A = this chain, B = another copy of it.
Amino acid sequence: MKVVIVGGVAGGASAAARIRRLDENAQIIVFERTGYISYANCGLPYYVGGVITDENQLTLQTPGSFWDRFRVDMRVRHEVTAIDTEKKIVTVCGLDTGKTYEESYDKLILSPGAKPTQPNMPGIDSDKIFTLRTVEDTLKVHKFISAEKPKTATVIGGGFIGIEMAENLAELGLKVSLIEYADHLLAPLDFDMACAVHAQMESHGIRLMLNTAVTGFETKENTTVTKTAGGCEIASDIVLLSIGVTPDTALAKEAGLELGLKGSILVNDKMETSAQDVYAVGDAVEIRHFVTGKKALISLAGPANKQGRIAADNICGGNSVYRGSQGSSVIKVFDMTAASTGINEAAAKAAEIDYERVVLSPASHAGYYPGGKVMTMKVLYEKKTLKLLGAQIVGFDGVDKRIDVLATAIRAGMKATALADLDLAYAPPYSSAKDPVNMAGFMIENIVTEKVKQFHHDEVDALPRDGSVTLLDSRTPMEYAGGHADGFMNIPVDDLRERLSEIPKNKPVYVMCQSGLRSYLACRILSQNGYNCYNFSGGYRFYNLVKQ
């Protein structure tokens, strides 16, 4: 069997290694356009920032080591330019020689990845505007910074790569502006959850420009001026463009493979394309979203690696299936961590799912043990079925742990209320006896069993301030004095039972506290005393973050 693979990184190299493990006799040739295989895409921003200092660390394997271990013929700087799926032949161009030749295959795997989205804009061709995808890209940025010593940077696009680049450039001492078209950074998060990330970026000196469309660039003296639709001009010494990625599928398209979203390659759950004996994996393919069952593009390394392994299995006579991605992701934002899994509210709305959510602010570990940090956690579930839909967490410690627990619960098809039962490991340095994930389960149970009703931050402004409802802040007078939502009166929860007479019985009561816990207690007191009341989800802490 002769296997040809296009792309020698996450999906392609993983497939090659697995095929060799399954079949000592296969002939395996991998074509890779860049000069490197098995490189750590995800580490590239950290090489720019000097966190990773050794260039060799960026590649997990070289063509030589891959040959020694796997007897895979890794041809770097070779681009596959055409596929003949009838004749089962690819056309290859040796980029150093310029020579073109053909290579036949029995099985073909495409793992060409995705390329940085390149908008068609005036001035985009400037040599001071960079993108980051390959090792070469990274070395170029690195060299530019060493040579030109830029003082200011503009990063365009606030996704994972944009934020990581902004952080790394800021850590190098550059003054960074980050421009984002949407109203918030990190699309996998909802706006309200991203607010803490915004604050974090700004507190590290990054100038955020949200809701801002870039229209073009102009070189002025030694700087590049980024122009926005609002008429702003941001001059900087270096520009980093990271407005998303597009499946790198011109080759697949020309070969006549069936395509999906954004030109991605259509595959079935065995990673087979529409052409006989042609498989595709990674950023280039359209997958099913594990939660919604709908078509999706998810450009992450975990799925790419797993899909490569699955394609390899099937090529070698196995029967492996890919059950979809749920987009679990995590990012370091200076000392903060932001993570998500499944779908967010925006996606739930788009999919017309009738969902509910809880927002809580648990500590990463027991309060009496030093070093715990408060995180903000949002968990979404479908109202009718209690199916877990997704979760988002932002915080400074233990965030990645809870997102992976929630990702596992989602994968297992657990009901949202089952989070209350999870038997998680507790000792004071690591968690609380009621882990944050359990706590989310308790809260969901209380909503489902109608022990409490909620209201949310986007409903606060619309609440009448004409006395027709009672707005109640159940924190201490000191906390209240330190800041509260407009129109809310203060009765501390501990005094509520004695002061019930101050609250009119026949009007709905909307209660807020710092985190949502004391207002929940207040709601329990109120509702058992005949009040119709609502607990503010996330507390004043969250409200304040979102409103700022």
Contacts and interface: CB of A to CB of B under 8 A. Distances in A.
A409 B60 CA distance: 30
A422 B411 contact: yes
Interface residues on A, range: 35 or more
A433 B69 contact: no
A51 B305 contact: no
Contact of A425 (B51, B60, B341): B341
A424 interface: yes
Most chain B CB within 10 A, of A20, A309, A331, A429, is at: A429
A464 B160 CA distance: 55
A545 to B, nearest CB: 22
A21 B521 contact: yes
A109 interface: no
25 contacts: A20-B524, A21-B451, A23-B528, A24-B528, A40-B366, A40-B368, A58-B368, A69-B494, A71-B497, A290-B423, A302-B424, A302-B426, A302-B438, A303-B423, A323-B421, A330-B425, A330-B430, A341-B425, A401-B401, A404-B425, A407-B425, A408-B412, A408-B414, A411-B414, A412-B418
A413 B329 CA distance: 24
Most chain B CB within 10 A, of A306, A368, A407, A429, is at: A368
Given A71-B497, A433-B304, A528-B23, A40 B428 contact: yes
B329 A427 contact: yes
Contact of A332 (B160, B340, B427): B427
A430 B43 contact: no
Contact of A434 (B302, B326, B521): B302
B525 A332 contact: no
A100 interface: no
A440 B332 CA distance: 26
A245 interface: no
Given A303-B423, A332-B429, A411-B421, 11 more contacts: A21-B451, A46-B428, A68-B494, A71-B497, A318-B449, A323-B421, A325-B423, A330-B426, A337-B430, A340-B425, A341-B425
Nearest to A51: B370
Contacts of A435: 302, 404
A394 B160 CA distance: 31
A422 to B, nearest CB: 6
Interface in A465-524: 493-494, 497, 520-521, 524
Contacts of A101: none
A400 interface: yes
A524 B24 contact: yes
Interface string A65-96: 00011010000000000000000000000000
Contacts of A370: 51-52
A177 interface: no
Given A24-B525, A401-B401, A494-B68, A424 B301 contact: no
